[in-house]
Amino acid sequence: MNIFITGASGYIGGSVATALIKKDHKVRGLTRSESVAEQLKAYGIDPVMGSLDDFELLMEEASKSDAVINTANADHLGAVEALIAGLKDTGKSLIHTSGSSIVGDDARGDFCSAAVYSEDTPLVVDPRKQARRNIDLLVTEACKFNIRSSVIIPSLIYGIGTGINKFSIQIPFMTNNALEQGEVQIVGKGLNTWSNVHIDDLVDLYCLVLEDAPAGSFYFAENGEASFLSIAKAISKRLNINKIEHLPPDTAVEKWGMAKALFTLGSNSRVRSVHAHRDLNWNPKHASVHQWILDEMTTN
C-alpha cells in the first residue's frame, strides 16, 4: 500500500512508519524541515514538504494514497478536514490519533478516580478537551462519506520508538526533570492513575486497524495502569535518586504550565481497550511499565 503519514518524524508516527515499511508498504511522510526530510529518507520514508496548514497539499496527498495515518497533532481541525476531503467517496482508510487525556479529570494528583472508560461507556470529557473530542467524532463520522475511518486513543505511552524521535512524553519528562533537579517531582500526592501502553504494542494496534478495522470505529490503547507515585518510585530506584518531591499543584503549574501540570501529570485517565482485543485480536506483550523503567529505560 501507498500510505501517507503526518507526524512521520514523531514518536508514534515514526514508529508506525518503520513497522509499515518492514511490511513492504511505501510510506510518505509530511515534514516542514529539509534536515528532517533527509532523516526521513534514511529511514526509508519519502518526505513530503509542507505543513498541517497546507489544505490543498494534504487533500492531494490523501487522494493519491491508499491510506492515511494522522499522528501529527490531535487538535488540528483543518488538517483533519483536508484529509477527509481528499479521501471522500474512496473507501480508503483514515486513522486519526487522539489521546486519553480527553477523559482526564482535575485530580491534581490527590486521588485515584473510580471512573474507568471503554469504547462502550459514555465519556466524560473536560470542556478544555472537548475540541479534541469533537475532532475524534468528526473522523469516526467520516464513514458516512465512504471513508474507512478509525480513531486510536493511546494512553500513557512508554518504550523506545523506532523512528527519528525515540521518546514519549510523561516518563521521559519526569526522568529528565529528576536528573536536573536531583529529585523526582510529582503533582500533589501522585495518586492519580493513568492507563499505559508500550510503543511496540501500540504500533501493532495501528497495523491491525489499518488491515481490519470497520469504518467509524475507535479504540482505546492500553495494557495496564499505574499511579504517578508508583512511576516516580520506579524512576527513583532506576536513577538512584532517593527523594520524591510532592509539588503543590499551583507550584507545578507555575513550573510546567497548566496543561502539563494538570492534564499530562496531574490527572486521572483510566481506560480499557475492549474493542481492540475483542474485534481485532490485539494481544499486547508488555504489561508492566514499572518493570520497563527498572530494566530497560534509558536516560539519554
Where are the chain's structural domains?
Answer: 2-104+117-163+196-222+270-278
Q: What is the reported pLDDT for 30? A: 98
pLDDT over 70 at 300, yes or no: no
Biggest CA-to-CA distance, the chain: 58
30-71 pLDDT, tens digit per residue, is 999 999 999 999 999 999 999 999 999 999 999 999 999 999
Flag whether pLDDT at 299 surpasses 90: no
Residue type, 179: L
Q: Model's pTM, two decimal places?
A: 0.97
Instruction: Pull the grid cell for residue 192.
Output: 492519580
CATH class for the region spanning 2-104+117-163+196-222+270-278: alpha beta
H or E segment at 277?
A: helix 274-280
Degrees, nearest 5: CA angle 275-106-11? 55
DSSP state of 271: B
List, for residues 72-113, the tens digit of each pLDDT value: 999 999 999 999 999 999 999 999 999 999 999 999 999 999
Buried b (16+ CB within 10 A) or exposed e, 131-168: ebbebbebbbebbeeebbbbbbbbbbbbbbbbbbbbbb
Q: What is the pLDDT of residues 232-247, one digit of tens each?
A: 999 999 999 999 999 9
Q: What confidence tens digit (pLDDT) does each residue in 118-140 have?
A: 999 999 999 999 999 999 999 99
Confidence of residue 298 (pLDDT cuts 50, 70, 90): confident
Cell numbers of 44, please?
526509508
Question: How many Cα atoms are found within 13 Å in the side-chain-facing hemisphere of 109?
Answer: 26
Is the pLDDT at 274 greater than 70? The verdict is yes
